[in-house]
Amino acid sequence: MGSALINGLFVFMLAAFIGFEVIRRVSPLLHTPLMSLTNALDAIAVVGAIVLVGEHKSTLSFVFGFLAVIAATSNVVGGFLITDRMLKMFKSSRPTKP
């Protein structure tokens, strides 16, 4: 087991704890936009796919990477777009909010 993998496990463990604590506090009102937002953030997998396409080490890695970039980018764009649209609809009845 390399030290990179051990470091990765530490990062995963800490991020999972932060995730639990932060997401527990998300208002149930916003659970649908939460899911579309985390989905968009998850599409950061696009960085791995970009490297595969750019390095062009083999035909297979190039083609698979290319398709993966398309799939992940559509999640990034679609996910942020719909989250934003949903959140714009949430309005308070109190006039204090600008």
Partner 1 sequence: MNTDLAGNQQIIEITYLIASVLFILSLKWMSSPATAQRGVRAGEIGMVLAIAGTLLHHGIVDYKWIAIALVLGTGIGIPLGMVHMTAVPQRTALSHAFGAFCVTLVGTAEFYLRTPDVPRFMMAVLSMEVILGSLTFTGSLMAAGKLQEILPQRPLTYKGQNFVNLSLLAASVVIAGYLVVHPGARQLFPVMIVVPLLFGVLMIVPIGGADMPTVISLLNSYAGLSAAAMGFVVDSKLLIIAGALDGSSGLILSIIMSKAMNRSFTNVLFGAFGQVQPSAVAGLEEKTVRSATPEEAAGILAAANKVVIVPGYGMAVAQAQHKVRELYDALTKRGVDVRFAIHPVAGRMPGHMNVLLAEADIPYDRLIEMDDINGDFPQTDVALVIGANDVTNPAARTDTGSPIFGMPILDVDKARTVMVIKRSMSPGFAGIDNPLYYLDKTLMLFGDAKAFVNSIVHELTASTH
Smallest distance, partner 1 to C-beta of residue 95, A: 11
Smallest distance, partner 1 to C-beta of residue 59, A: 10
Smallest distance, partner 1 to C-beta of residue 3, A: 11
**DSSP code string of 46-97:** HHHHHHHHHH--SHHHHHHHHHHHHHHHHHHHHHHHHHHHHHHH---SSTT-
